[in-house]
Amino acid sequence: MTVELFIQYFFAGITYGIIYAIVAIGFNIIYNTTGIINFAQGEFVMLGGMISISLNAFFPLPLAIAGAVLITMMVGALVEVSFIRWLKSPSVIRMIIITIGVSILIREIALHIWGESVRALPYFLGDEITTIQILGARISPQVLWIIGVCTIIVIALSLFFRYTMHGQMMRACAANRTAATLCGISAKNMVTFSFMLSAGIGALAGAVMSPVTYTEYDIGTGLAIKGFTVAILGGLGNSMAAVAAGLLLGLLEAFSVTVVPLAYQDVIAITILLLIIFIRPHGLFGRKDAAGLKEF
Amino acid sequence: MKKLLLTTIIALAMLGFSAVAAVAETIKIGAILAVTGGASFLGAPEARTLEMLAEELNEQGGINGKKVELIIRDSAGSPERAMSFTRQLIEEQRVFAIIGPSTSGETMRIKQIAEGGRTILISLAAAEAIVNPLARYVFKTPQNDRFAAMQIFKTMNDMGISKIAVVSGNTGFGQAGRNQIAQIAPDYGIEILENEVYDSRATDLSALVTRLMSNREVEAVVNWSIVPAQAILARNMRQAGWEVPLFQSHGFGNIRYVEAAGRAAEGIIFPAGRLLVADVLPADHPQKEVLVTYQENYEARFNEPVSTFGGHAYDAFHILVRAIEEAGTDREAVRDAIENMQGFVGTGGIFNFSATDHNGLDIDAFSMLTVKDGQFVKLEQ
């Protein structure tokens, strides 16, 4: 393999990987505060793309994306307030079924609003065929946008959780909900906030990636499955591990094309998911004893 | 006495039923379309077209004074749903004929049901297997995949291309096209060097493009898929700086896909019916009037560009209406009328049905188009 081919595959893999990682981080944020997997996470990504495309008809691009992120955060809050908040100590399985229901609901509503057609934002820089050369390989500038924005999201998130009051309150809820409540933290508000945060992150990623991947009303499911695989692979709840796992899966998928037919690309993701569930249920980077303390 | 009462009631009930039947002066036409789901790019314009045509027809007084009642069912592209809707339409609704389904996979599953129910089925799907082997009650309006592949290979011969890569989506449409291509390619002296299948929901194909590009002998790429992959592939190829000609299937026949691919769509070559170039056809072309009328009516009403798929529904509806006008409401007579229909000018071409051909189109129904400045134009060589 020549260097330029290697770079070309490498960037393809990084692009897939970082998108998976962002969806996985969305899973993790909600998992950390509630202990459930929110299967509507893929729909947040779809909404981010769709709403920003609609707003872009009236506003300049940055404003449209900001608007889409805000609106999707509202949707996230609405979902939590209307479907999750009023449940008294619901079982994990019940909450999961609820999120699956919500994802179908959002998808159908999106179908009614935007129809079945495929849409995309314009490229942020240049157009469809603009490329930049890196070591002989040609990369669309949008790919660098995706990588850049997603990297910023990851860094900002880890700073947020480490240094801000809100972030620390959310971590407290994740660590011990009862203790956090005793300290005067409203656990319910933290859950709502976690839905808003993961919806906003998903929406931002959805808007940035839409020029490359396109958006339609039902892209959410596929993203959710890949994101879930990555979240499990890294170890549920660990956002930095999700990034590593996402990049690993993305690169594996991209380079697998050189040895196996492309049709088997998804087989790789599912095989990894099954292997992890059987061999290391706590994920590549998780600790077994820590995982044992979790309900799910 | 009791017996008499019962008999009277039964007799009255039967009278009542026959009275209801006599009042029902409408002709029920069922339609099973993939209005939502992955194949909605087919079903949605088809459903809109049928609604528009049925409304127009009823405003003009229907067929021989009888109104048409259109019953559209959304199969979402699922063969299972298509099967249960077919049974429901035939057994409960007792429809006169069924238009659809939109996809080949669904049609193949309900072919026998329609045949068993002696209900005329005019499919809007392309696969040749729908009408070959022939089923007595089953017709279809889209051109055969084979003609599309033949047109592509003819163009390649003219361009001096002999070594190609074939990529296709993992749908029924992609699979049918892939098989046809593999079968016909040797007849035109064309060698398939690479043959790859991708997930039709793929969001990025740059790894695939890199793989194909590394084979320096490939002179052209043929892609057989539906959206959004056909736009993604075009973008990824041009972004990678790979300038070989890209051929797409007749599934590219919607100007929205050109918009979706943007500048990367320039130079894509694909076969299509004449609907997409209706405005530049010479005025004496036999299809000109039909095409322009349909395009103007559709675009004025739905505020979106026509696609070839809506055209298939247009053809199916008009073939059925014409046959009912000729033969009345006897199902057998109507079936015969369709089978004997000659020179019907539709959007897909000029249909000449026969007892051995329930599609009625030939290779001339396709012409090769290309994309220039964001518009479809006839391919000039």
Could you write out the three-class secondary structure of chain A?
A: CCHHHHHHHHHHHHHHHHHHHHHHHHHHHHHHHHCCCCCCHHHHHHHHHHHHHHHCCCCCHHHHHHHHHHHHHHHHHHHHHHHHCCCCCCCHHHHHHHHHHHHHHHHHHHHHHHCCCCECCCCCCCCCCCCEEECCEEECHHHHHHHHHHHHHHHHHHHHHHHCHHHHHHHHHHHCHHHHHHCCCCHHHHHHHHHHHHHHHHHHHHHHHHHHHCECCCCHHHHHHHHHHHHHHHCCCCHHHHHHHHHHHHHHHHHHCCCCCHHHHHHHHHHHHHHHHHHCCCCCCCCHHHHHHCCC
Angle between helices A220-234 and A3-34 (to 10 degrees): 80
Comparing alpha-carbon positions, the chain A residue that sits nearest to B240 is A138
Cα dihedral B215→B216→B222→B223 (10° resolution): 50
Beta bridge partners of B197: B168
- Judge: B203–A212 Cβ closer than 8 Å, yes or no: yes
Across the interface, of B41, B204, B231, the residue whose CB is closest to A15 is B204
In this structure, the strands spanning B246-248 and B220-224 are parallel
Q: What tokens does B177 get?
A: 């096209």
**Does B228 contact A at CB distance below 8 Å?**
yes
Please report residues of A whose CB lies closer than 8 A to that of B260: 118-120, 214
Residues 6+ apart with CB under 8 A from B380: none
Say how many C-beta atoms besides its own lie within 10 A of residue A179's C-beta. Answer: 11
Asked if residue B38 has pLDDT above 50, the reply is yes
- Judge: B231–A214 Cβ closer than 8 Å, yes or no: yes
Tell me the residues of chain B between 146 and 165 that have a Cβ less than 8 Å away from chain A.
Answer: none
Across the interface, of B41, B44, B208, the residue whose CB is closest to A262 is B208
3-state secondary structure of B254: coil
Mean pLDDT of B129-136: 90
Please report residues of B whose CB lies closer than 8 A to that of A212: 203-204, 235
A-B contacts (CB, under 8 Å) = 104
The sheet carrying B120-123 orders its strands as B68-74, B27-33, B97-99, B120-123, B138-140
Which of B171, B203, B209, B237 to probe the A interface (max A CBs under 10 A)? B203
Please report residues of B whose CB lies closer than 8 A to that of A116: 35-37, 40-41, 44
Among residues B95, B118, B121, the alpha carbon closest in space to that of B109 is found at B121
pLDDT band at B246 (very low <50, low <70, confident <90, very high): very high
Instruction: Give the pLDDT of residue B168.
Output: 92
CA distance B176 to A20: 32
**pLDDT tens for the 296 residues of chain A, in order:** 788 888 888 988 998 899 999 999 999 998 888 778 899 999 999 999 999 999 999 999 999 999 999 999 999 999 999 998 888 777 878 888 899 999 999 999 998 898 877 888 999 988 878 888 888 788 888 989 999 998 899 899 989 988 999 999 988 888 888 888 899 988 889 989 999 999 999 999 999 999 888 888 888 988 898 899 899 888 888 888 899 999 999 999 888 888 888 878 788 878 888 888 888 888 887 777 666 656 55
Comparing alpha-carbon positions, the chain B residue that sits nearest to A221 is B201
pLDDT band at B323 (very low <50, low <70, confident <90, very high): very high
Instruction: Give the pLDDT of residue A182.
Output: 92
Residues 6+ apart with CB under 8 A from B216: none
pLDDT band at B261 (very low <50, low <70, confident <90, very high): confident
DSSP string, B255-301: HHHHHHHGGGGTT-EEEE-GGGGGGGS-TT-TTHHHHHHHHHHHHHH
Instruction: Give the pLDDT of residue B295.
Output: 93
Comparing alpha-carbon positions, the chain B residue that sits nearest to A108 is B36
CA distance A47 to A107: 9
Angle between helices B308-327 and B288-302 (to 10 degrees): 110
DSSP string, B79-129: HHHHHHHHHIIIIIS--SEEE--SSHHHHHHHHHHHHHTT-EEEE----GG
Instruction: Report the CATH architecture of B27-143+286-363.
Output: 3-Layer(aba) Sandwich (3.40)
- Judge: B198–A129 Cβ closer than 8 Å, yes or no: no
Residue tagged 């994309």 (tokens)? B371
Instruction: Give the pLDDT of residue B19.
Output: 42
Residues 6+ apart with CB under 8 A from B31: B46, B47, B50, B70, B71, B72, B73, B98, B99, B100, B313
- Judge: A16–B204 Cβ closer than 8 Å, yes or no: yes
Instruction: Give the pLDDT of residue B364.
Output: 86
Please report residues of A whose CB lies closer than 8 A to that of B38: 218
Which of B102, B206, B232 to probe the A interface (max A CBs under 10 A)? B206
Which of B168, B227, B239 to probe the A interface (max A CBs under 10 A)? B239
Asked if residue B226 has pLDDT above 80, the reply is no
Matching CATH number, A3-286, of 1.10.287, 1.10.3470, 3.40.1130, 1.10.10: 1.10.3470
- Judge: B36–A116 Cβ closer than 8 Å, yes or no: yes
Mean pLDDT of B46-61: 94
Mean pLDDT of chain B: 88
- With contact defined as beta carbons under 8 Å apart, do B16 and B262 qualify? no
Mean pLDDT of B278-304: 90
Domain ranges of chain B: 27-143+286-363, 146-272
| Phi then psi dihedrals of residue A94, to 5 deg | -65, -45
Among residues A1, A23, A50, the alpha carbon closest in space to that of A269 is found at A23
**Does B238 contact A at CB distance below 8 Å?**
yes
Domain ranges of chain A: 3-286
| Phi then psi dihedrals of residue B119, to 5 deg | -115, 135
- Judge: A127–B263 Cβ closer than 8 Å, yes or no: yes
Q: What tokens does A270 get?
A: 């599912």
Tell me the residues of chain B between 166 and 205 that have a Cβ less than 8 Å away from chain A.
Answer: 170, 196-199, 201, 203-204
In this structure, the strands spanning B367-372 and B375-378 are antiparallel
Across the interface, of B199, B206, B228, the residue whose CB is closest to A265 is B199
B27-143+286-363 shares its CATH topology with B146-272: yes
Closest chain B C-alpha to A204 CA, distance in angstroms: 17
For chain A, list residues whose CB is within 8 angstroms of any CB belonging to chain B.
5, 8-9, 11-13, 15-16, 19, 111, 115-120, 127-131, 138-140, 209, 212-214, 216, 218-219, 222, 253-255, 257-258, 261-263, 265-266
CA distance A218 to A212: 16
Asked if residue B255 has pLDDT above 60, the reply is yes
Asked if residue B273 has pLDDT above 50, the reply is yes
Instruction: Give the pLDDT of residue B23.
Output: 44
Q: Which CATH class is domain B146-272?
A: alpha beta
Instruction: Give the pLDDT of residue B233.
Output: 92
pLDDT digits (tens, 9 = 90+) for B161-212: 999 999 998 877 788 889 889 999 999 999 999 999 988 778 788 889 988 9
Among residues A15, A186, A175, the alpha carbon closest in space to that of A85 is found at A186
pLDDT digits (tens, 9 = 90+) for B71-88: 999 998 899 999 999 999
**Does B259 contact A at CB distance below 8 Å?**
no
**Does B48 contact A at CB distance below 8 Å?**
no
Mean pLDDT of B334-357: 93
Asked if residue B381 has pLDDT above 80, the reply is no
Please report residues of B whose CB lies closer than 8 A to that of A120: 260
Please report residues of B whose CB lies closer than 8 A to that of A12: 204, 206-207, 210
Instruction: Give the pLDDT of residue B193.
Output: 95
- Judge: B197–A5 Cβ closer than 8 Å, yes or no: no
